[in-house]
Amino acid sequence: MVLDHRADAEVVSEATVKVHVGGQRVIATAEGIGPVHALDAALRKALSPHLSWLDSVELADYKVRILQGHPGTDAVTRVLVESTDGEREWTTVGVHGNIVEASWLALCDALVHKSTTVAPVTETADVD
């Protein structure tokens, strides 16, 4: 994850993801308004050529909670991602000591959940 503080005072995050799709390793980098947006954009960039339904999935809400008993900046966080495809909504959860990893887990699970509702599945994606 890279933060770019630009001359116009804009702060842009950059994320790079490495995934396996159809037996091939795919590396994609994207920018976003914040680390979660950049991570989502990079994941979509890597997967969109292989998953025709991907554009229908949108992040509807994003929530972060610190788990009890783990205060401070090194806390274990729980990330809840609410997603929609315009017809249905679903929530996925990621838990990790690293908030970016917790976000990654929740974002990936959201796409995995959607993939189970799409038939037929012709490609699978594995996350490094």
pLDDT (tens digit per residue) in 41-62: 999 999 999 999 999 999 999 9
The tokens for 39 are 């991570």
> Edge-to-edge, what's the strand order for the sheet holding 77-84?
58-66, 77-84, 89-96
**Domain segments of the chain as ranges:** 1-50, 56-120
pTM of the predicted protein model: 0.84
Q: Are 83 and 114 in contact (CB under 8 A)?
A: yes
The tokens for 33 are 């308004």
- 56-120 has which fold? Double Stranded RNA Binding Domain (3.30.160)
- What are the residue ranges in the chain where pLDDT is below 70? 1, 119-128
The tokens for 40 are 């989502």
- pLDDT in the model for residue 69: 78
Q: Are 90 and 116 in contact (CB under 8 A)?
A: no
Dist CA 4 CA 30 (whole Å): 12
